[in-house]
Amino acid sequence: MNVTEAVMTRATIRGFKPEPVPEDVIREVIETARHAPSNGNTQPWYISVVSGEARAKLEKAIFEGAAKGLKPHPQWPPGGIGLQGIYKERQYACADRYYGTMGIQRHEKEKREELSMRNWKFFGAPHAAFLSMPNYMHRAHALDLGIFLQTVMLLFVERGIASCPQGALAAFPDVVRKFVHIPEGNAILCGLSFGYEDVGAQINKAKMDREPLENIASFSP
Ligand SMILES: Cc1cc2nc3c(=O)[nH]c(=O)nc-3n(C[C@H](O)[C@H](O)[C@H](O)COP(=O)(O)O)c2cc1C
């Protein structure tokens, strides 16, 4: 597989098989992703992987908390808030495609909420990872974390491993810290659930479009 194939093949996957990914494969991916570039070579990323029993306990704690009405309290403002114009339109189109694939209409609030709660179960993935960086750092360093995240996702694709980046997993940092090592002073920016794709799962049929080139690029002679 070449890089172009990996970029074109990667998609957000939300239905997984229960089989875990061998730990040496996960380690090898992160070992390789360390070579991602960063501003001033600061390498501000920290990735905390959770599997097995710790993952199960964390899922229970987050899910029960969310079900009981524990309010999300991310350390960074979450994405998707305050969007305007075409960005809001794209967000709506994304939601319509996602919920529509699952046969849920826009007005079916309860069903949407139910589906959204799967975020707290890592969409059934056997592993989750939390990406954090020092909380005091300027938001420009979030770029570094994003590059690292995509590098991990593409390396996973190359190894037949599917993943789901989740801003939602930044919502309950206090709960996460009880089960996962997050360095002192770090803020969680997002999570990444991963494992092997459940190929037949309806939820994985939600394929997202992209804007055409002329809407996102210019080429000045
Ligand atoms: C930083 C980031 C945060 C995201 N957060 C969530 C999330 O919380 N829950 C979710 O189901 N998908 C989440 N997604 C997945 C996006 O919805 C998805 O990437 C987008 O719709 C494009 O689809 P694709 O990844 O399949 O190409 C997130 C993606 C990124 C990059």
Summarised one tens digit per residue, pLDDT across range 7-22 is 999 999 999 999 999 9
State the residue range of the domain holding 41: 3-79+122-206
Tell me the percentage of the chain whose pLDDT exceeds 90.
Answer: 93
Q: Which atom in ligand 1 lies closest to the alpha carbon of residue 13?
A: 26
Is 65 among the domain residues? yes
In a domain, residue 190? The reply is yes
Of 64-78, 93-107, 157-171, minimum mean pLDDT range: 64-78
In this prediction, residue 68 carries a pLDDT of 86
Is residue 102 situated within a structural domain?
A: no
- Structural domain count of the chain: 1
What is the model's pLDDT at position 96?
Answer: 94
154 inside domain: yes
CATH number, domain at 70? 3.40.109.10
| Ligand 1 lined by 166 (C-beta under 6 Å) | yes
Check if 1 has its Cβ closer than 6 Å to any atom of ligand 1: no
CB of 143 sitting under 6 A from ligand 1: no
pLDDT in tens, 45-71: 999 999 999 999 999 999 888 878 889
Q: Cα(220) to centroid of ligand 1, in Å?
A: 31
Q: Is the CB of 163 under 6 A from ligand 1?
A: no
Question: What was the pLDDT predicted at 101?
Answer: 95
Does 30 have pLDDT greater than 90? Answer: yes
Each residue of 194-216: pLDDT tens digit? Answer: 999 999 999 999 999 999 999 99
What mean pLDDT comes out for the span 2-11?
Answer: 97
Distance 24 CA to ligand 1 centre (A): 26
User: Which pLDDT band holds residue 185 (cuts at 50, 70, 90)?
Assistant: very high
Evaluate if residue 181 carries a pLDDT over 90: yes
What is the predicted pLDDT for the residue at 174?
Answer: 95
Q: Which of 46, 52, 56 is nearest to 152 (CA)?
A: 46
Task: Tell me the average pLDDT of the chain.
Answer: 96
194 located within any domain: yes
Q: How far is the CA of 46 from the centre of ligand 1 (A)?
A: 20
Question: Does residue 208 have its Cβ closer than 6 Å to ligand 1?
Answer: yes
pLDDT value at residue 83: 96
- pLDDT at residue 138, as a whole number: 93
Please indicate, yes or no, if residue 98 is contained in any of the structural domains.
no
- Average pLDDT of the segment spanning 73-85: 93
Indicate whether 110 belongs to any domain. Answer: no
- The preferred substitution site among 7, 10, 12 for testing ligand 1, maximizing ligand atoms within 8 Å of CB, is 12
Alpha-carbon distance of 177 to 184, in angstroms, equals 10
Residue 85, domain member (yes or no): no
Q: Please report, for residues 35, 98, 100, 107, 116, the alpha-carbon distance to residue 104 in angstroms, rounded to integers and kept in the order given.
A: 41, 9, 5, 8, 12
The predicted structure's pLDDT at residue 63:
83
| Pocket residue to mutate for ligand 1, from 148, 166, 169, 172, most atoms within 8 A of Cβ | 166
